Amino acid sequence: MANKYDEAYQQSINDPNGFWGKAAEDCHWYKKWDKVLDDSNKPFYRWFTGGELNTCYNALDYHIENGRGQQVALIYDSPVTDTVKKYTYTQLRDEVAKFAGVLLDQGVKKGDRVIVYMPMIPEAAIAMLACARIGAVHSVVFGGFAAKELATRINDAKPKVMISASCGIEVKKVIPYKPLLDGAIEMSASKPEKCIIFQRPQAKAALIPGRDIDWNEAMAKAKPADCVKVAATDPLYILYTSGTTGQPKGVVRDNGGHVVALKWTMKAIYDIDAGDVFWAASDVGWVVGHSYIVYAPLFKGATTILFEGKPVGTPDAGVFWRVISQHKVKSMFTAPTAFRAIKRDDPKGEFIKKYDLSNFKILFLAGERSDPDTIQWSERNLNVSVIDHWWQTETGWAICANCMGLHHFPVTYGSPTKAAPGWNVQVLDANCKQVKAGEIGALVVKLPLPPGTLPTLWQNDAGYKKSYLEEFPGYYKTADAGYIDERGYVYVMSRTDDIINVAGHRLSTGAMEEVLSDHPDVAECAVLGVEDQLKGQVPVGFVVLKAGVTRSNEEIIKDVVNMVRDRIGPVAAFKTATVVKRLPKTRSGKILRGTIQKIADNKEYNVPATIDDPSTLGEMEEALIKIGYAKGRK
């Protein structure tokens, strides 16, 4: 007998116009679309062409007009500042409308870019929604990124205005943002006209006269701004993701498909109705924060939580349970890393017993592969459904999931279950041929991608085609390898490029190698992601020194670790590197990264036929044992 998932999936693949057209009826449009799916310019498919709407209206004003004005829209919970603050839909709309007026006062208009470089405070969400209100394109940069990384994004997006705060707070450490912001602007070719700074009491920032504007002073003078009509195909935001060259790629999200798809997912995947409380324990700088802290819960009329803290240390491994209990969270979404940290500090789940979790129904994990041990620990201690699901910055929402609002399939550890409706996931070999069930190959998605995904890269159509569409014509390349079993369950095995996944943050090892190679004593280097029980993967560096270097290895390693921290940021979690005599290479000079990674991860490997000198693998194993990896690892 067919279930709701099977019915939805079949219609989404066989009749995408009917399926997504119906979902779109649940959203507010100033002008209805001419076409649901416009395939007139393949491979650049567009959704809801001809339609006009406003994302902020769908998130806030729509619910106020439908009687939810006094319902809580957003809860700011900050254990690092000992603050809990609630905004009703009306209060949040009023703040957003006023800040939209601030942006208009600074000359920001429809289509202009605005970079948001903020900690996890309500003003970050207010800034994003204010941009959407007036049709400006926001680009949020994670507050932990260093000045150089911020500068590359300024150069690509060319923002008219920057929005930042005086500081962020990491557990008990105050991190001033203004010096990073000033440094980024100094090294950027593109210069923003204004910077709006929210002053936090933990650290006041010195403002530059004529360029910098105090958030509160500007808000006191501003007039509220109304929503601006935008085309469904107009960009809502740019979100930069690591590229294999170290040059970030600007993933574009449009307005129409984004509202339709994300609103639909709240019930279909997360089983959230209007009025329910949903918590995505992520950061607004990442795609999860965009999709499931700021936008989707508000599109649905739910209550969303913006949490400024960590799973452990703010103050202890019970903080997640305190938040769930205090705010009556129904579904939560976080990275497996968070639960590994909690499990490490509280292996028996003693903190869980202190809180009433009776409203809590489902835990969703994503951002990296969820190891069976973490899922089983969570199931055992929380007594709720624990759902692994798979998606990417580019996709904006889940490619594969156990769609809890449609049908709950039996959980299989190691699999994010089945492709979500809209996603025609297949496994191909190198010749673009489908492989048999159970055989590993490249995980791809048959075009068109569903709404809410990336229509292209920011001002880089050629890069979009090259990165995602060329290798497998007619398909989107996920750059993940895996297989699909006879039941249709998908298994994601590994990356097929040099992007590693550190605690749910996708980072390029190529970018880290560029930093290491800049060191005056380093002749060549390699950075690999090796398995880590807590973070999923961590980067490990190998450096070959130039001849005649007199400084100690320890000094040089300290240097390169600090260089990565300064240029890419603490988020890279780059703490381990070692000096080696030489790197294993092919005869053509290519470093055998895959083989080194297998040695580090204690996996079986064959000596490649193309290797230049097999003895280098033994040297590499010795080096890895010395730093706590490979067979000597405890």
Distance (Å, whole) CA 215 – CA 226: 20
| 587 — pLDDT class (breaks 50, 70, 90) | low
Q: What's the pLDDT at 399?
A: 98
Distance (Å, whole) CA 583 – CA 593: 9
In SS3 terms, 483-539 reads as EECCCCCEEEEEECCCEEEECCEEEEHHHHHHHHHCCCCEEEEEEEEEEECCCEEEE
Nearest to 22 by CA among 171, 33, 594: 33
Indicate whether 250 pLDDT > 60. Answer: yes
Single-letter amino acid, residue 411: V
Q: Which segments of 305-416 does DSSP mark as H helices, in order? A: 319-327, 336-345, 372-382
Residue 150 lies in a domain: no
Buried (b) or exposed (e) across 356-395, using 16+ Cβ within 10 A?
ebeebbbbbbbbbbbbeebbebbeebbebbbbbbbbbbbb
Distance (Å, whole) CA 514 – CA 503: 22
Indicate whether 494 pLDDT > 70. Answer: no
Q: What's the pLDDT at 631?
A: 58
User: What backbone phi and psi angles, to 5 degrees, belong to 507?
Assistant: -135, 150
End-to-end alpha carbon distance in the chain = 50
Task: Extract the tokens encoding 501.
Answer: 């996944």
Distance (Å, whole) CA 9 – CA 423: 8
Residue 544 lies in a domain: yes
Q: What's the pLDDT at 633?
A: 41
Single-letter amino acid, residue 44: F
Distance (Å, whole) CA 491 – CA 497: 17
Indicate whether 632 pLDDT > 50. Answer: no
Q: What percentage of the chain reaches a pLDDT higher than 70? A: 96
Residue 504 lies in a domain: yes
Q: What's the pLDDT at 589?
A: 56
Q: What's the pLDDT at 138?
A: 98
Q: What's the pLDDT at 244?
A: 47
Residue 94 lies in a domain: no
Residue 122 lies in a domain: no
- CA 452 to mean position of chain CA atoms: 14
Averaged pLDDT for residues 339-354 = 90
| 548 — pLDDT class (breaks 50, 70, 90) | confident
Q: Using an 8 Å Cβ cutoff, are 586 and 612 in contact? A: yes
Q: What percentage of the chain reaches a pLDDT higher than 90? A: 72
β-strand partners of 618: none
Residue 484 lies in a domain: no
- Could you count the other beta carbons within 10 Å of the beta carbon of residue 183? 15
Single-letter amino acid, residue 620: M
| 498 — pLDDT class (breaks 50, 70, 90) | low
377-387 residue pLDDT tens: 999 999 999 99
Q: Using an 8 Å Cβ cutoff, are 153 and 240 in contact? A: yes
Beta strands in 269-345 (DSSP E): 277-280, 303-307, 331-334
Q: What's the pLDDT at 497?
A: 61
- CA 107 to mean position of chain CA atoms: 30
431-457 residue pLDDT tens: 999 999 998 889 999 999 999 999 999
Q: Which segments of 84-193 does DSSP mark as H helices, in order? A: 89-105, 122-134, 147-157, 178-187
Domain of residue 613: give its range.
Answer: 499-632
Number of compact structural domains in the chain: 1
Q: Using an 8 Å Cβ cutoff, are 179 and 167 in contact? A: no
Indicate whether 588 pLDDT > 60. Answer: no
281-297 residue pLDDT tens: 999 999 999 999 999 99
Beta-strand relationship, 425-428 and 441-446: antiparallel
H or E element at residue 420: none
Q: Which range, of 6-20, 327-341, 495-509, averages the lowest pLDDT?
A: 495-509
Tokens 């969270």 belong to 329
Indicate whether 63 pLDDT > 90. Answer: yes
Q: DSSP per residue over 38-91, as a string?
A: E-TTTT--EEEET-EE-HHIIIIIHHIIIIITTSEEEEEEETTTTEEEEEEHHH
| 251 — pLDDT class (breaks 50, 70, 90) | very high
| 499 — pLDDT class (breaks 50, 70, 90) | low
257-282 residue pLDDT tens: 999 999 999 999 999 999 999 999 99
| 458 — pLDDT class (breaks 50, 70, 90) | very high
| 610 — pLDDT class (breaks 50, 70, 90) | low
Its sign, for the CA torsion 442, 443, 447, 448, is negative
| 496 — pLDDT class (breaks 50, 70, 90) | low
401-411 residue pLDDT tens: 999 999 999 99
Instruction: Assign 377 to helix, strand or coil.
Output: helix
181-202 residue pLDDT tens: 999 999 999 999 999 999 999 9
Residue 49 CB-half CA count within 13 A: 10
197-219 residue pLDDT tens: 999 999 999 999 999 999 999 99
- CA 398 to mean position of chain CA atoms: 12
Residue 121 CB partners (closer than 8 Å, separation 6+): 76, 78, 165, 198, 200, 306, 308
- Could you count the other beta carbons within 10 Å of the beta carbon of residue 565? 17
Instruction: Assign 178 to helix, strand or coil.
Output: helix
Residue 27 lies in a domain: no
Q: What's the pLDDT at 424?
A: 98
Single-letter amino acid, residue 450: P
Buried (b) or exposed (e) across 584-621, using 16+ Cβ within 10 A?
bbeeeeebbbebbbbbbbeeeeeebeebeeeebbeebb
Residue 535 lies in a domain: yes
Indicate whether 609 pLDDT > 60. Answer: no
Task: Extract the tokens encoding 632.
Answer: 């000597």
Distance (Å, whole) CA 178 – CA 108: 22
| 136 — pLDDT class (breaks 50, 70, 90) | very high
Mean pLDDT of the chain: 92
Nearest to 551 by CA among 520, 580, 582: 520
Distance (Å, whole) CA 631 – CA 634: 8
Q: What's the pLDDT at 504?
A: 73
Q: Is 101 exposed, middle or buried (0-12, 13-18, 19+ CB in 10 A)?
A: buried
Could you check whether the bond before residue 43 is cis, i.e. omega within 30 degrees of 0? yes
Task: Extract the tokens encoding 215.
Answer: 């958030």
Q: What's the pLDDT at 338?
A: 87
Q: What's the pLDDT at 634?
A: 35
Q: What's the pLDDT at 222?
A: 98
Q: What's the pLDDT at 612?
A: 72
Indicate whether 309 pLDDT > 70. Answer: yes
CATH number at residue 587: 3.30.300.30
122-132 residue pLDDT tens: 999 999 999 99
Indicate whether 336 pLDDT > 70. Answer: yes
Q: What's the pLDDT at 571?
A: 80
